[in-house]
Structure 1
Amino acid sequence: MGGFLYRPGTSAFTYSQFRDFVRNNVELFNYRDGANATVAVTRTSDVTQLRINGKVDATDSYDMTTQALLAHVPLMLRPDSKDVMIVGLGSGVSVGAALSHPIRSLIVSEISPEVVEASDYFRGVNRSALADSRVRLHVGDGRSLLTHESARYDAILSEPSNPWLAGIGDLYTREFFQIARSRLNPDGLFVQWMHTYLMTDDDLLMVLRTIASVFPNVDVWLLSRDVLIVAGERSIAPRFERAVERMKDRSVQQSLETALTPTLASVFSLHLLDDAGVRRLVGESGPINEDGFPLLEYSAPKGVFLGVRSQLLEEVDSRLKGDPDARSLLTQWSSYQGGLTSKDYESIFDYHRKLKSPFAGNVLKSWVGEYPRDKKPRGYLEEFAGIAERGGLPGRVKTIRDLLKASDG
């Protein structure tokens, strides 16, 4: 799988050329052939990577935000959570992030013992998570564990591999989501990882619709190419005062800093849709992914071969329109604390700029408008004006200069 995905990004045209490219550019730390997958740990360009069948599933660099926030989002929304389950170990970063909170127990289910072995190479970023006394490791199928054990959880986090891989589809069906819902405590949250890359709009919409057919409340968070779908029995509205208290925990702060989201504002800036927005998007009817009709198992690979990327969520991003209905948690957070601080704006801008999100421009405009004497946003605008000027974009230069002049007034 990895060879198919990554060869086009090299100069190799034959198998031998690709093999030589890998040998010259990839450092191999660990390699195991397992019953479920071939697992390897590699290093390229100072980034340690966990590869499943050749495809990178986790890193100690550009995947940190997704891996950490998979745990932080539900545990910040529900700070009283005590018992957590994670389906899929990966690098172990999500486990480590969850353990930064004062939870009582965490069970992590990983079907591949080779992945468990590989996670040891990520101790520096997962904080030696599996050595924590609160953790119970189950090497086996997570869906079966949820089905046959009677334990209930305050948070269930599902972090499988991509749905276009054979055997993964049963972690994206209505029946799996129903099992997860049955194992949640009344105020508990279920989080499903999803992605927009190599994914059609129809398939992403089907996953959202399938989850919404099971849970009464569903929110969506967009992390660049990754998506967190947060669902629960009750309203997912956060308890801001408790989240503020939790942010005082240095362990939580450090984990969020490694995720490039060091403030609550930067975390809430990733919230995209509330339940009403999700249900408007999915509509009242449409395909559902089921055990008996596993549509995603067969349609998802098409996105890979077509090389497409879903832009569905970007097209409904109310953050780019000023969020007039105050649906986003960032707007609600700003209202709660009486406006965003300059530090809030800086943390939001830094994250979205690094990921080349169009939202970064909106943030910068609001930042210089709220804090016209702050040198940092003005410095960024001057920098962008220079880039636009060198790029022969006089219209953009004028727009930026006009914004600077307006802030002077």
Structure 2
Amino acid sequence: MNAARPSYVSGVAALYFFSGGIGLAYQVLWARMLSLQFGVSIFGVVVTAAAFMLGLGMGALLGGHIGRGRRHPLRLFALIEILIAVYALLLPMVLRGVDDVVMWLASDSLGFWYALQLSAALLLITLPATLMGVGFPLILKAVQHTPLSLARLYGLNTCGAAVGALLPLVLLPALGWVAGVWLVATAGMVVAVAAWALSRQAQTETVITTEPVSWRSVPPFTLLAYAGVGAAALMLEVGWTRLFGMLLLRTEYVMAVILAVFLLGIGLGSLVARRLNGRIWFDVLPVAAALFALLSLWAIPALAGWAERSDFDSLAAAMWAQGLAIALLTLPVTLLLGAWLPLLSARFGRNKALGAMLYGANSIGAAAGALLAGFVLVPWLGTTGAVVAAALLLFFAGMAWAARHSWLALPLLLGLAWPVWHLPAVNQLLPHTQGGSRDLFVHEDALSITHVIERADGQRLLLADLQRMDASSDPLAVVSQQNQVRLALLLHPDPKQVLFLGLGTGISAAASLPYPGLERTAVELSQGAIAAARHWFAPVNDNISDNMNIVRDDARRFLQTAPDSYDVIIGDLFHPDLVGRSALLSLQQFKRARLRLKPGGVFVQWLALNQFDADSLQVVLRTFQRVFPRAVLFVDGFRLALVGGQDWRLSARLVQHNLARLAPAARSEATGGEGVWSWLGRYWGPIRPSEGALQSEWAPVIEYHLPRARYRGEMDVVALVEWLLRQRPHLAEAGQALRIADDEVDAFERGYAATELALRAWVAELKGDVRQAQRLLRLAYQANPRDRWVSGALADRMYAGLQAMSSQAADRRRALEAILFVRPDHADALRELWRLERVQGNMERAAEYRHMLRRYSPLDAALEQISESDRG
């Protein structure tokens, strides 16, 4: 055998480095695609990781037999890379076809649908991953008689994979999903050509022989134990992805960053292991790996507090800082995980083919670990419990090669595990924003973590995945949530069936109760939110769960499979920059909603202005207008309603006709006591057609743009509101569009002017011009005293001014009564008046104020104090 030239050795090393990068770029892209299929990002992560590891494992085990006796393994490697690239290009079409079949087979069952989707995805992604796994023993054979060690080769491939995990962060926002796959597939073709060229060099340089390897070369218990190490590793990856995704980036960037850091640690650990000798390392690895895995949980409160306090001036700075934080917590474990394969391979003989066998067993175990963590341990034990289980499994599996005295570390590990078995309370994880709260309810399943917390003032918050506040029982928040439904139902002449895309606390849906005979359906994927609405928010949602049909399902799947059509469909608020959420603002989702509308039906999608910059907002408006050409806008506070319909035309007469059908009391409740002209005054004109990017499930835009805009300081509510003010049509144009009658112009003008003056007042206040803000607010109140946003803001200012007033009870009582004249449901004024009347001995009047406070703020902590005082 002739010695191979250094150029050949370097070429193979570089080849496998880039092959690892391409493989992980595929994995991240496919995980993103599966997140769309499932509607839940963590499912995409788990299924893709499991399929990849299963395929890599089976491929590694098969590759030793396939490559045996071949003189040119790099040629077969080149052919495999070409097959993978072709498969990657065809996979989107295959998955869409499979999705249609699965949807038809499991149209009525979410659980069965998930099971079929999971099985199909596992099969379809395991196939190319198996081909990737075959490549590992082929590369090992190509360097069998070269100085290139298994540790170095495995480490370079894994480091390349870490780089490849980050590649989609550039490809997806710049090119979209399909073009990104094409580019990665092209890179795979280039690697294939390079491998073929190297194989020709190998033909002239060296003759490769094969050392026979059998299953007897490695004890079966070793293969089983190393499979357990692989299972623990992927259990850690799934658990860490869930934890860090809640605490840190929380965007489309999170999975790629965590995966890159995870792989980088394994790759570096493998490279370092070349210099480790001696059996002592087998005593150290299981104890140290389990210890550092548990310590990562002990650091969670400190990490969460740091993330809450941190302020970055760019997304890149945030990714670097948070990526380093992740590395600090995970690298000690992943370095040790990476060292295991080279050390085991050296222990059982330095035949590189043995490494492929060990790698195969480890990868198959990893696939089982990913599925076990994602679908069993996380729902059963919680995320932190799954990480604890992974740490202990890592210890027990690693003890297969350790000395007996290492078992002495077990009591220490169990002692460290017990306090971190459960996720810390929210007030520990978010000490700045929720420091005074207490946990009332925690629900965790394979989809999400749901918290209900109670603040010091007695109000409750619903948190999804820890940091995203979905809803609050605060009186002002209740009005804001209910207005989402009030507007939508007012805009239909005779609503009979309404569909809520998202239930949350149920507070929004409660605004539909004034409509008699209305058939309500809510689609909610989070079981925790469903339970919270039924039990923890019933005092503020009027037990709406007992008056509606709640379907646990993904909103996109439901719209595709629902047999019914609806008069009104309402898209709830959500955070569009979080993983998977932006698909609910996509061209495809808006088309699904339109297909579920009855003739004359109305679809209303709500957006929170503080979650957008001008560019991202225009992308969503443009996308909505493409599906609903006659779409219009309404503004309610700092929320924007996108309104479209199926053969629907907006007019004042339509809204008036709708209200005329209701009894007087129900009529007032249907408008929130504001009257029809307050609502018509929030009209903001049509969505004007424009050219530019659209939000598509397969070419995402906003989920990648929004995080960058937020860190660059472009999420400027003032600038966005000023842009909206410039878009608003003139009063005469708006009146003509709404077909306002001549005798109604004055009432409409008052509502129209009050809305705009209030927005201009808030802009002035945000700019620091308090005097101008007060002047505009007074004018807005004079124009329309019934507007709750205007009266509420004015009442708040009056209450804030009480500190400068006389402390005499009579003066203070008159001031507080003046506040209630402006806003009868002002909770602070009601509390103070109750206390004043109690002190003065006016118990009957005090009871009236207590009753009013309970009506408007039923969870207010002061009510408990009031009850105790009354009992006293």
* TM-score, length-scaled by structure 1: 0.75
Distance 2:520 2:559 in 1: 13
Query: 1:254 corresponds to which residue?
Result: 669
Distance 1:77 1:254 in 2: 15
Query: 1:164 corresponds to which residue?
Result: 577
Counterpart check, 1:317 vs 2:728: no
Query: 1:98 corresponds to which residue?
Result: 512
Given that residues 451 and 464 in structure 2 are in contact (C-alpha distance below 8 angstroms), is that contact kept between their aligned partners in structure 1? yes
> How is 1:4-403 mapped onto 2 (pairs within 5 angstroms)?
20-21=431-432, 24-44=435-455, 45-53=457-465, 54-61=467-474, 62-119=476-533, 120-132=535-547, 135-233=548-646, 234-238=648-652, 239-245=654-660, 248-254=663-669, 256-257=671-672, 262-273=674-685, 275=686, 278-279=687-688, 283=690, 285-307=691-713, 308-310=715-717, 311-317=719-725, 323-327=730-734, 335-337=742-744, 339-340=746-747, 352=758, 356=762, 364-365=778-779
Given that residues 81 and 103 in structure 1 are in contact (C-alpha distance below 8 angstroms), is that contact kept between their aligned partners in structure 2? no
Shift, 1:348, TM fit: 5.1
For 1:371-404, what per-residue CA distance to the aligned partner results, in whole angstroms no more than 9, with x for missing partners?
9xxxxx9xx8xx99xx9xx9xxxxxxxxxxxxxx
Taking structure 1 as reference, are residues 184 and 205 closer, same or farther at Cα in structure 2, changes over 3 Å only? same
Taking structure 1 as reference, are residues 83 and 240 closer, same or farther at Cα in structure 2, changes over 3 Å only? closer
Shift, 1:145, TM fit: 1.1
Given residue 295 of structure 1, which amino acid in structure 2 is its aligned partner?
A: V
Shift, 1:67, TM fit: 1.7
Q: Which moved more, 1:207-216 or 1:297-306?
A: 297-306
Distance 1:363 1:333 in 2: 26
Could you say which structure has the greater relative contact order, defined with CA pairs below 8 angstroms and 6 or more residues apart? Answer: 1
Shift, 1:236, TM fit: 2.3
Distance 2:778 2:587 in 1: 41
Given that residues 50 and 91 in structure 1 are in contact (C-alpha distance below 8 angstroms), is that contact kept between their aligned partners in structure 2? yes
Shift, 1:65, TM fit: 3.3
Distance 1:196 1:306 in 2: 17
For 1:349-389, what per-residue CA distance to the aligned partner results, in whole angstroms no more than 9, with x for missing partners?
8x948993669855744775899xxxxx9xx8xx99xx9xx
Distance 2:523 2:662 in 1: 28
Q: Please identify which structure carries the higher strand content.
A: 1
Given that residues 576 and 611 in structure 2 are in contact (C-alpha distance below 8 angstroms), is that contact kept between their aligned partners in structure 1? no
Unpaired stretches in structure 2, ≥5 consecutive residues: 1-244, 250-303, 312-324, 326-423, 765-772, 786-790, 805-872
Shift, 1:223, TM fit: 2.1
Taking structure 1 as reference, are residues 58 and 355 closer, same or farther at Cα in structure 2, changes over 3 Å only? farther
Distance 1:185 1:82 in 2: 11
Distance 1:170 1:331 in 2: 32
Taking structure 1 as reference, are residues 169 and 24 closer, same or farther at Cα in structure 2, changes over 3 Å only? closer
Give the secondary-structure state (helix, strand or coil) at the position aligned to 1:72: helix
Shift, 1:326, TM fit: 3.3
The Cα RMSD (Å) is 4.2
Count of matched residue positions in the alignment of Structure 1 and Structure 2 = 364
Given that residues 84 and 155 in structure 1 are in contact (C-alpha distance below 8 angstroms), is that contact kept between their aligned partners in structure 2? yes
For 1:278-303, what per-residue CA distance to the aligned partner results, in whole angstroms no more than 9, with x for missing partners?
21xx52x1100112112223223334
Give the secondary-structure state (helix, strand or coil) at the position aligned to 2:511: helix
Given that residues 305 and 431 in structure 2 are in contact (C-alpha distance below 8 angstroms), is that contact kept between their aligned partners in structure 1? no
Given residue 38 of structure 1, which amino acid in structure 2 is its aligned partner?
A: I
Distance 1:356 1:27 in 2: 33
Given that residues 83 and 103 in structure 1 are in contact (C-alpha distance below 8 angstroms), is that contact kept between their aligned partners in structure 2? no
Distance 1:19 1:205 in 2: 33
Distance 2:596 2:310 in 1: 49
Given residue 539 of structure 2, which amino acid in structure 1 is its aligned partner?
A: G
Taking structure 1 as reference, are residues 243 and 104 closer, same or farther at Cα in structure 2, changes over 3 Å only? closer
Shift, 1:141, TM fit: 0.7
Distance 1:190 1:201 in 2: 23
Distance 2:734 2:634 in 1: 12
Taking structure 1 as reference, are residues 27 and 353 closer, same or farther at Cα in structure 2, changes over 3 Å only? farther
* TM-score, length-scaled by structure 2: 0.37
Q: Which moved more, 1:83-92 or 1:360-369?
A: 360-369
Identity rate of aligned residues, in percent? 20
Taking structure 1 as reference, are residues 7 and 336 closer, same or farther at Cα in structure 2, changes over 3 Å only? farther
Distance 1:370 1:226 in 2: 19
Taking structure 1 as reference, are residues 23 and 197 closer, same or farther at Cα in structure 2, changes over 3 Å only? closer
Distance 2:506 2:571 in 1: 13
Shift, 1:10, TM fit: 8.3
For 1:42-97, what per-residue CA distance to the aligned partner results, in whole angstroms no more than 9, with x for missing partners?
22244321111222111122322332122111211213011111110011122111
Given residue 289 of structure 1, which amino acid in structure 2 is its aligned partner?
A: Q
Q: Please identify which structure carries the higher helix content.
A: 2
Give the secondary-structure state (helix, strand or coil) at the position aligned to 2:439: strand
Taking structure 1 as reference, are residues 90 and 141 closer, same or farther at Cα in structure 2, changes over 3 Å only? same
Given that residues 85 and 107 in structure 1 are in contact (C-alpha distance below 8 angstroms), is that contact kept between their aligned partners in structure 2? yes
